[in-house]
Every structure is written in C-alpha cells, then in structure tokens.
C-alpha cells in the first residue's frame, strides 16, 4: 500500500521537485528564461496515489474534517517563515459556492495569514480541470483584494495545497511583485 511520502532534502531549489543533483530542473530554467524570479518552493509531501486520494476526499468530496490530518505539520513548517506575510492561494466564488470552504485556509487554522488575492470573475474552469498546456497559457487569474495592505518591500509566502506546474504560484508572485513585494516564496502541502 502506498503511504504519504515526505519530500527529502535532495530537491530542485527552485520548485521543490525531487532532484539528483544541485542544478535547476528544466521547468525552473524555463521560468528563469521567461524572466521569472524563482520561488524557492518547498512542498512537504509527494503527490502520490495516497495524497491524490486524500485530496479527492478533502477538496472534491468536501470532507472538511480532513484538514486536521496535515495542519500541525504544515503549521510547524511555516514557522521557518516567521518574517513573511503568509498568503493563501484563493478559490473562485464558484468553487466557494460548490465546496463551501477554501482547502488552503482550512489547513492554516491557527496560523496568522492575510487574504490578499482573489480569483478574477472571468475564470471559468477550475485549475484541476485544465491540462498542462492550458494551465501554462491562461491569463492572470488573480487580482488584489480592495484595501490590501502596502506590500512595498515586504516578504510574502504563498501557500497552496498542491504545486503542479507552478503556474498558479508564478501568477500570484507576478502580481505581488508588481505592487512592490521584495521577495515571494511558496510552500505547498504536496508536489
């Protein structure tokens, strides 16, 4: 039986993918060649069959109690980012109406965070319904929430449940850099 697998120390320092050497993976090299600042992403677990089943039950079947499974581990890891403003990746209004909760903020109960981003109203498809090519070519899905704090010179930590292509995190980072953030890093439960 497959179990939850933690991601070790041998990773690409740009995206957190398992690696066998100290070079950037091809995806991160491509992000850099497109002018992106690396996120120095860290994921806690591999997205294997067990994690996929967990996400299916937690996110898509709406078993909100499952947020407790990883919450303490994630909150412990976030202590490494004490100087960062923690920003969860938002869900669309449509997803909120369907699911009734944001799976990321559910994992963050007990941690101080700022909801600075919202999903633009024109977003029709869920990220999970898009293939890699469509994820990579979609338009900026986020906007700043009205009344967002001044981010000039601030360090931001983006938090999501799953890092797939990195596109979601890079869109969020681009927006935050555009309003003056000094550094943007990211963490996810799974990759």
Spell out the per-residue pLDDT of the chain, length 191, in tens. Answer: 579 999 988 899 999 998 888 789 999 999 999 999 999 999 999 999 999 999 999 999 999 999 999 999 999 999 999 999 999 999 999 999 999 999 999 999 999 999 999 999 876 655 556 555 665 567 999 999 998 889 999 999 999 999 999 999 999 999 999 999 999 999 999 99
For residue 8, the model assigns a pLDDT of 85
The encoded tokens of residue 109 equal 């109960």
Q: Which helix (H) or strand (E) holds 117?
A: strand 117-119
Give helix then strand counts, H and E, for the chain. Answer: 7, 6
What is the spatial distance between Cα 140 and Cα 78, in angstroms, rounded to a whole number?
27
- The residues, any chain, with a CB within 8 Å of residue 159's CB and separated by 6 or more, are 78, 86, 87, 88, 89, 104, 107, 108, 113, 186, 187, 188
Q: pTM for the complete prediction?
A: 0.91
């Amino acid at each position: 039986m497959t179990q939850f697998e933690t991601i070790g120390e041998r990773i690409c320092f740009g995206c957190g993918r398992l690696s066998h050497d100290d070079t950037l993976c091809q995806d991160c090299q491509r992000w850099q060649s497109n002018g992106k600042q690396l996120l120095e992403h860290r994921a806690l677990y591999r997205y294997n069959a067990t994690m996929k089943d967990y996400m299916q039950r937690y996110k898509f079947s709406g078993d909100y109690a499952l947020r407790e499974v990883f919450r303490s581990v994630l909150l412990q890891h976030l202590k490494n980012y004490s100087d960062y403003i923690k920003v969860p990746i938002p869900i669309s209004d449509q997803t909120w109406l369907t699911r009734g909760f944001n799976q990321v903020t559910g994992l963050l109960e007990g941690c101080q965070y700022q909801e600075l981003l919202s999903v633009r109203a024109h977003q029709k498809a869920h990220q999970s319904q898009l293939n890699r090519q469509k994820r990579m070519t979609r338009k900026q899905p986020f906007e700043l929430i009205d009344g967002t704090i001044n981010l000039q010179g601030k360090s931001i930590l983006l938090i999501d449940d799953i890092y797939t292509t990195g596109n979601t995190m890079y869109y969020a980072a681009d927006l935050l850099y555009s309003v003056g953030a000094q550094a943007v890093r990211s963490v996810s439960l799974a990759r």
